[in-house]
Chain A
């Protein structure tokens, strides 16, 4: 039932795309929101996964394909999770600390205050 819904969503998205292409409206890509892009992408992957895992088109894949495809969604999620943690961790560690900029600013603040006093500013 879940697969039917997914397949239906996929058919609708494809139909939508072809319809717009037929009307020479490639702008569909420009007006598609990020959310729709994600849903489309996830649906395509979901359908591909469903096709291979449950052999929906009766293509008689060898059992290794099915064994590999079946846990793929979880593998991908875990891989993405690890990638995210590693990337954010690396970026936090490499975050530049601008000591020099802070010192320079302090010195310039002093200079500015004196210069402004000379020019007649009453703070």
Chain B
């Protein structure tokens, strides 16, 4: 009995969660997202670290990150900047190399993803032993704030086409708020070749292909950026191109 309890304790102690935050011009949002992460991880008692991967932001994001590191400690906030904007896939690879956790959480740094869901991701992962847990805006309590009818229509329409063509077994494929086992993320990023929205889709499709298990947790997505950056024709076209490529190759 005593040894079983001992094992359970060491299991919790050895689970560490590395949060990857790729940033570009997030000078305003970075302190806020870090504050929220520290608050919720502190309450949850899980072991964590935050890896900020700044791609040479001209607005001084890195300087703010350095201040945060002084406030919260270099064991909690790791800075691994890069010289220029190099893309999300390589940012993940770069982040994983420096991650000391056995789980990796990827999320957006612009406050659209709320750290309060991370505890739910972790619990869901423990519950089902999932290789990856994905936040979904389309099921259960999941939802979005700040989208007009046009945006919702495009989102649901694109998701419907994706479900019909790829039958992926996950409700939200373009979402980027996820928890991965570190080795699973490593393996998947190696294999994925797409960019943008389609990259996130490809990750889940390839995960299914390789036999990994996927869990889902409903999340709320608060879009404060949509007003400035409308979803244009170009993005829709490249999404469809990417989708058809995935359809023909996976």
Contact = CB atoms under 8 A, between A and B. Distances in A.
A102 B145 contact: yes
A: contact size bracket: 20 to 34
Interface stretch (B12-20, B47-55, B152-160): B152-160
Interface string A73-94: 0000000000010011001100
A120 B72 CA distance: 11
B138 interface: yes
23 contacts: A34-B167, A34-B248, A34-B250, A84-B164, A87-B160, A88-B153, A88-B160, A91-B159, A92-B156, A96-B144, A101-B114, A101-B222, A102-B145, A102-B146, A105-B111, A105-B222, A109-B32, A116-B71, A119-B71, A120-B67, A120-B71, A121-B67, A123-B31
Interface string B174-186: 0000000000000
Interface string B114-142: 10000000000000000000000010011
Contact of B144 (A91, A95, A113): A95
Interface string A14-26: 0000000000000
B250 to A, nearest CB: 6
B146 A88 contact: no
A99 B156 contact: no
B249 interface: yes
Contacts of B32: 108-109, 112-113
B166 interface: yes
A5 interface: no
